[in-house]
């Protein structure tokens, strides 16, 4: 199921705070797992990701 941005925002608004935070964490982890595709300034690479 693919939602349009407006529909997705409405669904996110229905989540409680803890669910929203988990969603943000999942999104961050997904981005981090594909980080070779994301251009990153050298100064960002100096700071390791904390887990």
The single residue listed with the structure tokens 């690479």 is: 45
Predicted local distance difference test score (pLDDT) of residue 50: 58
Predicted local distance difference test score (pLDDT) of residue 18: 97
Count of CB atoms situated within 10 Å of the CB of 20: 13
Helices (H) and strands (E) in the chain, counts: 3, 0
Over residues 7-26, mean pLDDT: 96
Please give the model's pTM, rounded to 2 decimal places.
Answer: 0.62
Alpha carbon distance 8, 33 (integer Å):
23
Which residues have a Cβ under 8 Å from the Cβ of 35 and sit 6 or more positions away?
none
């Amino acid at each position: 199921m693919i939602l349009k941005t407006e529909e997705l925002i409405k669904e996110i608004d229905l989540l409680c705070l803890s669910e929203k935070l988990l969603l943000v964490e999942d999104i961050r982890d997904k981005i981090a797992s594909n980080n070779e595709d994301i251009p990153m300034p050298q100064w960002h690479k100096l700071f390791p990701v904390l887990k």
